[in-house]
Chains A and B, each alone.
Chain A
């Protein structure tokens, strides 16, 4: 079973709709992240959370919100979707206690979101 899962895997929605993307992990990691990936731009950080009570904005948080419901769950919401939010969204986790280089991040399979 995958350590980091994302639902849905694909979603097509219309402009103005509210969308929630969900991420769950069984790695026991405290730190979770949401990224989006666009062709030619690489991955960009939307929000990150170092524990259940900690939420931080990334470089492109406008138009997004997040909720850390538990250590294992981190949800990303688009309050009113717009076409330029069409992208591939990845959730990731990390935990410096694992013994590897502190910043290693492990990614979920991604959600492909299309906003019409």
Chain B
């Protein structure tokens, strides 16, 4: 089993749609969770950290379910500029050792 698993997509959605991505992780000792965004051939950039209580940043909401070991990202009112690959990232219980999922590709169309 992969340490971090994501549906690769692509998710093709119209502008204004709501879309959700899930990610599962295998190491129950993981303490830190993130969503990164990566545009084609560019570097990953931190989108948001994921906290146990859930957190929201504008149109983006992240949730963590420790019991089931999954993380979700909800994007509301999708914009064309949201088209990118979204990487689920988890630490493996060792400080600063992050494991990256292979990413979920989102394509927003007009």
Chain B associates with chain A: yes
A binding-site residues for B, Cβ under 8 Å: 31, 33, 35, 40-45, 48, 50, 88, 90, 94, 96, 100-110, 112
Contact of B43 among A31, A33, A101, A109 (CB under 8 A): A109
- Given the complex of chains A and B, what is the CA–CA distance between A104 and B42 in angstroms? 18
- Given A90-B44, A109-B42, decide whether A40 and B102 contact each other with a Cβ distance below 8 A: yes
| Chief secondary structure at chain A's binding surface | strand
A102 touches B44 (CB 8 A): no
* 3 closest A-B pairs by CB: A107-B43, A42-B102, A43-B100
Contacts of B73 in A (CB 8 A): none
- Given the complex of chains A and B, what is the CA–CA distance between A94 and B34 in angstroms? 14
Contacts of B4 in A (CB 8 A): 42
- Given the complex of chains A and B, what is the CA–CA distance between A37 and B98 in angstroms? 14
B96 touches A43 (CB 8 A): no
Contacts of A31 in B (CB 8 A): 96
Whether B1 is near chain A, meaning CB under 8 Å from some CB there, is no
Contact of B49 among A41, A96, A100, A112 (CB under 8 A): A100
